[in-house]
Chains A and B, each alone.
Chain A
Amino acid sequence: MNDYAVSVATIIAIQAIGALGLNVIVGYAGQISLGHAAFFGIGAYACAMLTTNGLSFWLALPVVLAISGSVGALLGLPSIRLKEDFLAITTIGINFIVEAIFLYTPFFGGALGIGGIPRVVFLGEKLKGVGFLWLCLAFLGASVLGCLWFRRSWLGLGCFAIREDETAAASMGIWPMKFKLSAFVVGAKLAALSGALYAHYMRFISPGDFGFPVSVMFLSMVVLGGMGTLWGPVVGAVVLGILPEVFRPIMEYRMLLYGALLLGMIRFQPGGLLGDQSLAMRVFRRLRLRGGD
């Protein structure tokens, strides 16, 4: 594989982890969040600040996950009182405020961001290129397994129940606050993992990398792939990651195509590529039926 393909694949793997995290919040627990880039940024900044001060990536990661988990619980609090539209706007606001804090606090490097982030060292070897891609893929695999576990656990079942009907779930003894916050904690941790990998891949981060458009990108991946499905976010990340490269000859029209694709998808297949009622799944099911005859 050439360097170019490796770099595209690495970015896709990193973003897929973040999208999986958003899917836990939006797809599993049904809490619309448009501020996912805030968690992504918190992970990236926390990890970068620890490793630029001499800590190794492997020691920093648990700390980052602990920080992002608590921030996730904190920023998930609005979801207890706010629903749907209000929650969507609040999460947009959180994204803008977190970005502003990174931008205006000298502690976080301000507009200059953080540079000189060291490479990840694994078994005494500095990971770059294909080595780092394998690391990202390993984390992606672990994240998918984590999501699979989440879906099958009591936690996931509770989240699904809340997504379908919060009042009914609460009357059955499912405490919405616990499950919503758990979803935010898990989602924030996955986003932070993705952010930590991103920081160590780019080796330079600045507040602009974690703005609202990044949140829209994560949400687009989840919507495109299929909200609430296991593999949807990964498929979404792959499609949205590869499309711009395919369309590189018509670079000028890239963002327009992106917008049009998202619009077409939500207009005609709101369930996403892997959703229950989607065209792809219906064709797939029919093929399977025919095979079974």
Chain B
Amino acid sequence: MQLFLEQLLNGLAIGAIYGLTTLGLALVYGILRILHVAHAGVYAVGAYVGLFAAQWTGSLLMGVLLAGAVSSLLGVAIERLVYFPLLKYPPYVPLIGSIAVFISLEELIRLVAGPEIRSFPAEIPLPALKLGVVTVSPPLLAVYLTTGLVLLSLWFVTTRTEFGLAMRAASQDMEVASSLGVNSHRVVSLTFVIGSFTAALAGVLVGVYYNQVYPSMGAVPAYKTLALIVVGGMGSVPGAVMASLLLGVAETLLIGYANVPLPRDALAFIAMILVLLVRPKGLFARRSR
């Protein structure tokens, strides 16, 4: 029982990290209909900036803030320089552009920071929580708290502010929204800022949680998150987060108990194909628009 609970808590933490990474992808897909593969590159850049900034300033918080700032700038730059001019082409064109950006980012990190795995030593200013038979360690707690906080603020921004209204309008129909006075350029850029900031958070959290960052750390998330937004219903943020949590738990429990003879990274795609067969619009798709 205790082992099961511990596995469950770990699975939830992994799911929460997937959720933070997938969130930005779902936001971007919702508004631009682009598969933002380079998002995982932004995430890896965020992890590295976070590591260097935390070592340089000696404070994890400063690391997180700097990582978020750099990643946001990077995200907006990708949107402005690559995606925006490619919107008029069929969707595979921006997708290939995104893959190219991702490859370039991965290589840039390798050239600048070196190919080796770096450890991410961090003092987390949180206590270890004792819940009955299991203990929630500080890194786990940090993952839960950050994810909860991000989701809460995102919910607040999208449903309770004027910007959120503009964002929802633009994601339904950008042209009509523009004609009604929504500055869709700014909305798109701000969406990239939010998405990239959460990606940087996820990158730093992964670095702290596994105590390692390496140049190709974005490779697996780059494609797993694509499967997750399909399972969650393309462009639906709550769906993507739910799918991520489910996958995190399922991966951990299946590998821990069922001894599935498949790598955990293929599981997401198997789930995705099953979902596409049964509910092509995704598990949590909005009913209709």
Smallest CB gap from B83: residue in A = A267
Whether a CB of chain A sits under 8 angstroms from the CB of B4 is no
Please tell me if the beta carbons of B97 and A92 are within 8 angstroms of each other in the complex: no
What 0/1 readout, one digit per residue, does chain B (219-245) give for beta carbons within 8 Å of chain A? 000010011001000100000000000
How many Å from the CB of A130 to the closest CB on chain B?
Answer: 34
Which secondary structure characterizes the binding site on chain B? helix
Please tell me if the beta carbons of A96 and B96 are within 8 angstroms of each other in the complex: no
> In the assembly, what is the distance between CA of A258 and CA of B106, in Å?
12
Name the B residues within 8 Å of A220 (CB-CB). Answer: 96
What 0/1 readout, one digit per residue, does chain A (70-111) give for beta carbons within 8 Å of chain B? 000000001001101110111011101100100110000000
Please tell me if the beta carbons of A259 and B82 are within 8 angstroms of each other in the complex: no
- Please choose the segment from B67-75, B142-150, B261-269 that sits at the chain A interface, where 4 or more of its residues have CB less than 8 A away: B261-269
Of A78, A82, A88, A90, which is within 8 A of B95 by CB?
A: A88
Given A89-B230, A212-B223, A266 contacting B96 (CB threshold 8 A): yes
Please tell me if the beta carbons of A32 and B103 are within 8 angstroms of each other in the complex: no
How many Å from the CB of A100 to the closest CB on chain B?
Answer: 4
Of A84, A93, A258, A260, which is within 8 A of B227 by CB?
A: A93
Whether a CB of chain B sits under 8 angstroms from the CB of A252 is yes
Smallest CB gap from A262: residue in B = B100
Given A84-B90, A84-B91, A92 contacting B226 (CB threshold 8 A): yes
Of B86, B104, B280, which is within 8 A of A260 by CB?
A: B104
Complex interface residues of chain B between 55 and 104 (CB less than 8 A to chain A): 82, 85-86, 89-93, 95-97, 99-104
How many Å from the CB of B129 to the closest CB on chain A?
Answer: 36
> In the assembly, what is the distance between CA of A94 and CA of B266, in Å?
9
Whether a CB of chain A sits under 8 angstroms from the CB of B272 is yes
Whether a CB of chain B sits under 8 angstroms from the CB of A181 is no
Of the A-B pairs whose beta carbons lie under 8 Å apart in the complex, a sample of 29, sorted by A's number, is A32-B92, A84-B90, A84-B92, A86-B234, A88-B35, A88-B95, A89-B230, A93-B227, A93-B269, A93-B273, A96-B266, A96-B269, A97-B266, A97-B269, A100-B263, A100-B265, A104-B262, A255-B103, A255-B106, A256-B111, A259-B102, A259-B104, A260-B104, A262-B103, A263-B97, A266-B93, A266-B97, A267-B82, A270-B93
Residues of A within 8 A of B (CB): 26, 32, 78, 81-82, 84-86, 88-90, 92-94, 96-97, 100, 103-104, 212, 216, 219-220, 223, 252-253, 255-256, 258-260, 262-263, 266-267, 270
Q: Report the 4 A-B pairs with minimum CB-CB distance, sorted nearest first.
A: A93-B269, A259-B104, A259-B103, A263-B100
